[in-house]
Amino acid sequence: MGRHSMILGLAGVGLAALGLALWVVKFEFDISVAITTIAGLFLLLFTLFINFNAFRDFIGKRSTRYGMGSIVTVILVLAIIIFVEAISARHHLRVDLTENKRYSLSSQTVKVLEGLNYDVEVLAFYGKNQAQKVSFERLLKLYKYHSTRFRYKMVDPEMEPSLTKEHGVILYGTTVVKRGDMQAKIEEGTEEKLTNAILKVVRTGQKVVYVLKGHGEQALEDESDAGYSRTRESMEGESYVIKELVLLREEAVPEDAALIIVSGPKVLPEKRELELLSRYIDGGGSVMFMIDPGNAPGIKDFLIKYGVVRNNDIVVDSTSRMFGADFRMPVVTEYAPHPITENFRVASFFPVARSVNVDQDKVPEGGRVKVLASTSPKSWAETDFEELKKGRAEFKEGVDTYGPVPVAVVVTIGEDKVQLATKTKKTPVAKIVVFGDSDFANNSYLSAAGNRDLFLNTVRWLAGEEDLIAIRPRSLNSTPLFLKASQARFIFIVPVVVMPAAVLAIGLIIISRRKKIA
């Protein structure tokens, strides 16, 4: 077989193998696969034809027959490996076995990625030796795994200064998220920041959340433990525009209001303000009420119109002592099936809460009311405030209400009418959520267990964005390993003393035996 014939043969084998690999990867015998495979087979057959005599003599040798078995075995093994790799490239499964799922994305992020209707490009400007580069690129790969519309590029500012200048990047570690002409920048490479940036660029407009002011409500600018500055930041992080609302100055609720939050009023709003709120709700508005025990007693008459009963009591929970908390901080563990609490498996804490219940007879026509969240079975609604002030609490049969105690109620008005409405004219749906406490969402308790998710999920639902309701990204908490003194000594002695001594002893034994043999 001549040199040129051998080159043709090898080229034929290579093209045929390439065609097979393309077919396995694509799972489709398209024109490119067909041309590659046919060309390879043609070259291989042509080589055999022009060297038929030499090939026949080669096959007739005994050594060739013995070697063919090994060659066929190698080819089969390689074919199996190629096939398995091709399958895994298209259909692979990731399993995260870490305790807090640090190598998995939150369900909220996955929802956002799976629902992308636009191509999103991420430019991560990290230096070659920057410490956070590897971990952030690993995060970006997770995002790409969940959406074909997501793509990213790691940019070294020193190697691509023009691209860096074009996007106005001046700090290493800056990430630019782009969708067409829209872009958002983040300087912290976390899942929460990245997902929120994606939301900002894919949304066609930001929804406005109004927070009622003028009745002693929680202050949005207050950075103390009792304030709502972190709550405001959390809502802004979800791409909402937050504005304060003084209804006494308004003729009506602003038309751009996605929802109104009434957070812990100390006194009852004026009659005219309540009328404006009623008119807003009747027109399909959404309102979140957070009413603390003892405050704004007159609001009871306003809420009862929508089937919500606000009781004059304080929820006491003996379970809270297990967590080192005050017994007046009930643990909320029972959640009703609802978009707000879908897949919600996290307890939440309500410091000093009152019970909130439902009255089906008072629900407006076409409306539905249900308990959203309740405390543990070991709790009760205490009515003796004087005993609570003394630090004592005891359940009194026939006076107090034993748990689970409802602390959150959700009302929907007009949903049934919407389903019957025509395509050209739809009846607006009014939504109300009432919590028996406002402190669960303040700066001090927002990060406690599931408080933040419960609050933001409620905001999402009221704003008509139930498709984005999910559990937020987790923080990467370390899990310390505590050892007894005896365990620490054992871990030190075995690898540092015992194992080296064993290796040395074995070496000495081998050397002594060799000397005896010699």
Tens of pLDDT, residues 33-55 = 678 778 877 777 777 677 666 65
Question: Which of 309, 308, 316, 291 lies closest to 385 in space, CA to CA?
Answer: 316
- Whether 184 shows a pLDDT value over 80: the answer reads yes
Cα separation, 381 vs 357, in Å, equals: 12
What per-residue confidence (pLDDT) applies to 236? 86
User: What's the whole-model pTM score?
Assistant: 0.62
Long-range contacts from 20-26, C-beta under 8 angstroms, 24+ separation: 20/79, 20/82, 21/82, 21/86, 24/82, 24/83, 24/86, 24/87, 25/86, 25/89, 25/90
Least confident of 29-43, 234-248, 400-414: 29-43
Higher local confidence (pLDDT), 29 or 50? 50
Strands (DSSP E) found in 313-403: 314-317, 331-335, 348-349, 356-358, 367-375, 379-382, 401-402
Query: How many Å apart are CA 196 and CA 181, to the nearest integer?
Result: 17
Give me the sign of the Cα torsion angle 26, 31, 37, 40.
negative
Asked if residues 430 and 412 have their Cβ atoms less than 8 Å apart, the reply is yes
Residue 24: CB atoms within 10 Å = 18
Grouping H, G, I as helix, E, B as strand and the rest as coil, residue 245 is: strand
User: Is the Cβ–Cβ distance between 173 and 126 less than 8 Å?
Assistant: yes
Percent of the chain with pLDDT over 70: 75
> What is the rounded average pLDDT of the residues 456-479?
71
Q: Is the pLDDT of residue 380 over 90?
A: no
Give the model's confidence band at 425: pLDDT under 50 very low, under 70 low, under 90 confident, else very high. Answer: very low
Identify the pLDDT of residue 67: 59
Mean pLDDT of the 95-116 span = 73
* Mean of all residue pLDDT scores within the chain: 79
Q: Give the residue from 312, 311, 334 showing the smallest Cα distance to 404.
A: 334
Q: What CATH number belongs to 209-468?
A: 3.40.50.880
Percentage above 90 pLDDT, the chain: 18
Q: Which long-range contacts (CB under 8 A, 24 or more apart) does 238-241 make?
A: 238/196, 238/199, 238/456, 238/459, 238/460, 239/196, 239/199, 239/200, 239/203, 239/206, 240/206, 240/207, 240/208, 240/209, 240/459, 240/463, 241/206, 241/207, 241/208, 241/209
Q: How confident is the model at residue 411 (pLDDT cuts 50, 70, 90)?
A: very high
Lowest mean pLDDT across 13-22, 78-87, 489-498: 78-87
Q: Is there a contact between 497 and 321 (Cβ–Cβ < 8 Å)? A: no
Domain residue spans in the chain? 3-90, 107-192, 209-468, 482-518
Confidence band, pLDDT 50/70/90 cuts, at residue 185: confident
- Judged against a pLDDT cut of 60, whether residue 455 lies above it is answered with yes
In this predicted structure, which of 82-91, 140-149, 314-323, 383-392 has the lowest mean pLDDT? 82-91
How far apart are the two ends of the chain, measured CA to CA in Å?
55
Span 117-149, pLDDT tens digits? 889 999 999 988 888 888 899 899 989 988 889
* Cα separations in angstroms, 200 against 174, 176, 183: 16, 12, 8
Out of 38-52, 68-82, 206-220, 484-498, give the one with best mean pLDDT: 206-220
Cα–Cα distance, 315 to 458 (Å, whole number): 22
The length of the chain, given as a count of residues: 518
pLDDT in tens, 16-27: 777 766 665 555
- pLDDT grade, residue 421 (50/70/90)? very low
473: helix, strand or coil: coil
Answer yes or no: is pLDDT of 194 > 80: yes
Residue 417: pLDDT band (50, 70, 90) is very low
Distances (CA, A) of 40 to 35, 45, 56, 82, 123: 8, 9, 21, 18, 41
CATH topology of domain 107-192: Glutaredoxin (3.40.30)
Taking residues 327-340, what's their average pLDDT? 85
Q: What is the pLDDT of residue 483?
A: 61
